[in-house]
Each structure stands twice: as structure tokens, then as C-alpha cells.
Amino acid sequence: MSLGVDAYGRPVAYDMATPSHLLVAGQTRSGKSVLMQSLLAQLAAVPGVVLAGSDPSGILLAPVAEAGRYGGRIALGTEDAASHLDAFAWLDRVFRDRQRLLVRQGRDKIDVDDPATPLVVFVAEEYLSLTQLVAATDAASSPRGRDAARLKALVLSLSAQALKCGIRMIVSVQRSDAEFLGGPARSNLATRILLRSEPEASRMVFPDLSDGDRDWIARALPGCGLVEAPGLPRQRFRGYDYPYAAYRDRVRYCASVRGATRGPEGGA
């Protein structure tokens, strides 16, 4: 798929087979939502890809959930924090089932183009907002902090181990914090897209960011940013202008032509 175009108007190609999860960071009105819509519209058109995720906003993943033919668990909105934990737990079960499959078959990884074990793309939209939602729910429960600890453990485990099992996470945040980008998550969220951000937030994503790029990203136009991935040197790019209505229609159309998709757990 294409992330956008570079400074010369050439497509910036990205292969979801790349052994890396994706981090998309940018402040409000940086063009992050439009970029996510472009990525999901392209993934919806790939036969067999399973789309799943957690979306506290209830907007980004709503068309995928409404289409009902992408095979994955999706949690929307802020009314039920437990549903988001269930979505991550579903992904963890898929991962563990595939891990056991690898052991039985004597393999070390799952190829993402294997129709028996389709590529699973899990979108964690506004992940830090989700952690705040879970923390607020935890404050009224006993024992306190249980769900927040469970969520953190699931994300750290999946980011560290799920790549070899044909699973990719796309984690979207307005601002990356040190705790989230520490340890295993830092090395496994190796594909990083940074849109307009304050200098401190920029350094969380790219610690070695030059003064010139730091100043540029602080005043970047919506949709313009920096991208770095395994095999893709850091570069400036501009994402495609992909309005929500076009994204919604694309997801619906792709769902209508692909037929019902059976998810990794055997459910439609």
C-alpha cells in the first residue's frame, strides 16, 4: 500500500508484511484521522485481511464494524470499557492459537499471505485515550488498577511477540509518552509516522530528530509528516487527502464484493 507521496511526488510504498507494528502520532488537526482513513481504505481492499480494533472515538472503525465482513473483533465508543479489553483479549487469543500452530507445525513464523492464517490488522485508535478510560473505570472497581494493568500487559505482550504470527497493530496516539514507548514497544513499533507535533512529543517518537526536522514537524501542514520503517529511511511525506465519506463508501464497497469473511477464531 502507499502512505502518501514524497517531496518529489513519488509514492511512499509500505508492505504490511514488514515485521513491524505501526505507530501513528500527531496532535489534533494534524491530519492523523485522514491518514488512518487512507490506510484502512487500502487494507479493506486486500482480500482476506482481517480488520479488528479498539476505537474510543467510535468514528474511525464504525464503517468496518457496520460492514460486518472483516472477521475481527471491534470495540467502539466510551460507554463500555470492558468491550475494549475484550477486543485486545480476542487478539491475544488469536496470537496464542497461532503460536500453538507454529509449535505443532515446527515453523518459526506465519507468512502473511497464507490464506489459512490471514493477516490480522488490529487498530488501536487513540490508545492513550483508551488507557485513561480504563483508568477511570478502574477507580470505581475493586481491586483498583486491575483492568489498566491487564490492558498494559496485553499490549506489551502483543507488541513484543505477535509479529511472527501474522498480526500487525496500528497504534494511533495524539502524543507518545515515555512509558508507552519504553522497553519492548519501542523496538517493535519500528514503523513510525509522525505528523505535526510539539518538540517534546517529536523526540519521543524520534529521539535523534534533527533541529531542522523538529522545527519543520512543529509547523507542518495537515497530512505532512515524517515516516521511518525497516527498509525505509526516515523521510518527509504528504499523505493522501481521503475524506471520511470516501473512506466509509470504500469500506462498504469492498465488504460487498469480498463476501463474508471468517475470522481467525472461525466466526464471521
At residue 215, φ and ψ (nearest 5 deg) are -70, -35
Is 33 assigned a ligand-binding role in the annotation? yes
CA distance 120 to 52: 7
Is 20 assigned a ligand-binding role in the annotation? no
Half-sphere exposure of 80 (CA within 13 A, CB side): 11
The C-alpha cell that represents 30 in the structure block = 494534524
The C-alpha cell that represents 207 in the structure block = 529521539
Is 29 assigned a ligand-binding role in the annotation? yes
Is 176 assigned a ligand-binding role in the annotation? no
Q: Any idea which residue has 517493535 for its cell?
A: 188
**Backbone Cα Rg of the chain:** 18
Residues sharing a CB contact under 8 Å with residue 112, sequence separation 6 or more, in sequence order: 16, 17, 119, 166
Nearest to 145 by CA among 159, 124, 128, 131: 131
Asked if 157 and 92 touch (Cβ cutoff 8 Å), the reply is yes
CA distance 227 to 194: 6
Is 26 assigned a ligand-binding role in the annotation? yes
Asked if 30 and 204 touch (Cβ cutoff 8 Å), the reply is no
CA distance 150 to 140: 16
Is 96 assigned a ligand-binding role in the annotation? no
CA distance 23 to 218: 18
Name the packing angle between helices 244-258 and 32-44 (round to 10°): 20
Annotated binding site for ATP: 26-33
Annotated binding site: 26-33
